[in-house]
Structure 1
């Protein structure tokens, strides 16, 4: 029985029409499960907490070669709907562009790899397995999304031998960049407690703002590093300083400040936490205030060294687009930070200029080209 190829553009539109703002599933995974089950994939819903996830495998469990795709169907909120020129969940196509929340990040990527996988196993059934790990919790806390899928896989003897995350990776042109790693990310919250007093009698008070300003200056005065072979220099940014003091003649009792650090492979969350604490201790000793610190590490830095996987993906991209992708570790975090503990992982997807923006949109022709790239990667992997 012959099957018509899966249209990734139509599938993208159907997914956009599911208003799956984290953590709402809104029918997106139900739709994908139906498409994949019809093509002979074994599908399992791996829901945890309020998060919906889908695991789909074609081929034998525990196969020696199992190529995986990872992506997400959840999207960020629309924001001010009045500023959109098109329905955020309408998937309208205008002048060759499809509009909608998730059009770029990343329902088009999911549609492209689902379409490529279905056509591949129908046309040329491989000696191995094709795995799709799709989450509904990438834009949120990400605690019950890809992490839950990987936990379930470990408990049930499921595996991927290599994985591609379909996040948007290209800055300007389809094909110009792929990700072989990501910087680490962490946030630190400082609460500085001093002694309140009259601003005319500072000797009777301990000004927490002076201490906080001193601490922030220490943290930003020198660069963390100059970068490494695969990473740009790490960055530390002050994101807020506040004491909530409405009076001009009162030294406040407490002040708060927050910093966000994006770090390379010279550091870890643990080493940077120790560095921040040491600076806070010095300011405490100099000023007599108390500085409490809370830290959240969203992900450690990692790199998949250039090699067989990255070369195969880059080759497929170049053949289909005529563009040679730059191997990069730039940008924010992605679920690749979790997958890297399971198997080698790289990322390749669309141009990401409009992701999370008002009037998020994707060039329709790019969706078709992305499916072609993913299809070539599957053929080359199992050749």
Structure 2
């Protein structure tokens, strides 16, 4: 079996082991990986999360000479299927049709996981000549948003801290070198309860929440500035309150997602929300003040031009005949977590794709040889003599 056929075969078997985050047991998909790794003599170990469950596999290839370690990262948990009736093929089929690998996880990121396993096997065979070492993290707690595999890797006292990480999200014409951060909160909007048919006209919690949504969405945000190419963005992502028709609701909860930038970070995001809440409570008082519960915060990041490992990957892709450019992503990703730990990361370079997180997910296998060669070339440059 050729190297690329081996990668595709492993990816197919991974797709056929459903591993939807928070839904499926990860044992079967991990078992496929462990059998493959053991059959090639690659050392690995399971990483445990805070609650003791497995959150990833870690492969380590130690070089025979001193030097920094670098890491590859791909998730093998996936998004849910959504409406299966809308798919034109079974979400766990894992077949290849017209050069496309089909099924949930084909793009994000089981093909990348299979590719990174193959690269680890290749470098294992020439480890004596490498400087430093290579770690491959196969995460099964990524689509939950908990990033448990990455957290466990960084907390593992036995693991060498990497000098940089390349994350295998797909996309052929870009190397993602940054991303907006985020600040998220739930907001509890209160009001006095009562009967909807009473003479009293005091607004209920849902009406107060609607006013707050308007204040938030009308708040002025700065534009993009400096070397960071994206502006901040505020989205009201959820609204829950009330029951039935005859009761004036006394509580309505909002979910707020603010994508942050170096010029508009978490403190600025929180200040904006608190100012809107203060205006609401002053203009439309209620028995209890509106409360804010911050639930998550990630810093924005962008690698500098020439910074590793992005420079090596961009150069390698060009040398393999690809046209690529560095890009800062709108969504946050594991790169933001790593940035908070002072570890530079790329967060996307791979094959072309369609249907990611949606219907009929698939990955273009025509791109696999060039992507494979680019990652291999980049790693050999990083693991070579300094």
TM-score, reference length from structure 2:
0.87
1:335 maps to 334
Aligned pair in 2 of structure 1 residues 62, 222: CA closer, same or farther (>3 Å)? farther
Deviation at 1:73, TM superposition (A): 0.6
Cα deviation, 1:62-104, whole Å, max 9, x if unaligned, reads 9522121011111122223333222322211111111111000
1:312 and 2:312 correspond: yes
1:19 aligns with 2:25: no
Residue pair 1:39, 1:122 contacting (<8 A) in 2 also:
no
Offset from partner CA, 1:246-281 (integer Å, 9 cap, x none): 43x864333333222111122333442233123212
Describe the superposition over 1:209-268 as per-residue Cα deviations: whole angstroms up to 9, x where unpaired. 443233222212133210132231111112233433543x86433333322211112233
Where does residue 263 of structure 1 map in the other structure? Answer: 260
Over 3 Å counting, the alpha-carbon distance change for 1:83 and 1:212 in structure 2 is closer
Structure 1 stretch displaced more, 259-268 or 191-200: 191-200
CA distance in 2, matches of 1:34, 1:337: 32
Provide the aligned C-alpha RMSD in A.
2.7
| Distance (whole Å) between structure 2 residues aligned to residue 112 and residue 22 of structure 1 | 21
Matched position secondary structure for 2:332: coil
Q: Which residue of 2 aligns with 1:149?
A: 153
Q: Is the 8 A contact 1:116 1:372 kept in 2?
A: no
Q: Residue 95 of structure 2 corresponds to which residue in structure 1?
A: 92
Total equivalences in the alignment: 372
Q: Is the 8 A contact 2:11 2:110 kept in 1?
A: yes
Q: Which residue of the partner structure matches residue 358 of structure 2?
A: 357
Deviation digits for residues 34-62 of structure 1, max 9, x if unmatched? 43445454311112233331111111599
Asked whether the 8 Å contact 1:12–1:108 carries over to 2, the reply is: yes
Q: Please state how far the C-alpha of 1:131 moved relative to its aligned partner.
A: 0.9
Within 2, Cα distance between the matches of 1:297 and 1:214? 24
> What's the CA shift string for 1:195-221, capped at 9, x where partnerless?
235668776634434432332222121
What is the SS of the residue equivalent to 1:223?
coil
Aligned position for 2:119: 116
Q: What does 1:261-300 align with in structure 2 at a 5 Å threshold?
A: 261-289=258-286, 290-300=289-299
- Structure 1 contact 78–88 (Cα < 8 Å) conserved: yes
Whether contact under 8 Å (2:78, 2:104) holds in the other structure is yes
SS of alignment partner, residue 215 of structure 1: helix
Whether the 8 Å CA contact 1:86–1:92 is kept in 2: the answer is no
- Distance across 2 between alignment mates of 1:178 and 1:288: 50
Contact 1:180 1:306 in 2 (8 A): no
Structure 1 unaligned blocks of 5 or more: none
* CA deviation vs aligned residue, 1:314-370 (integer Å, no higher than 9, x gap): 111122243132x22223222222223152211222334321122111112223332
Task: Specify the alignment match of 1:129 in structure 2.
Answer: 133
Unaligned runs of 5+ in 2: none
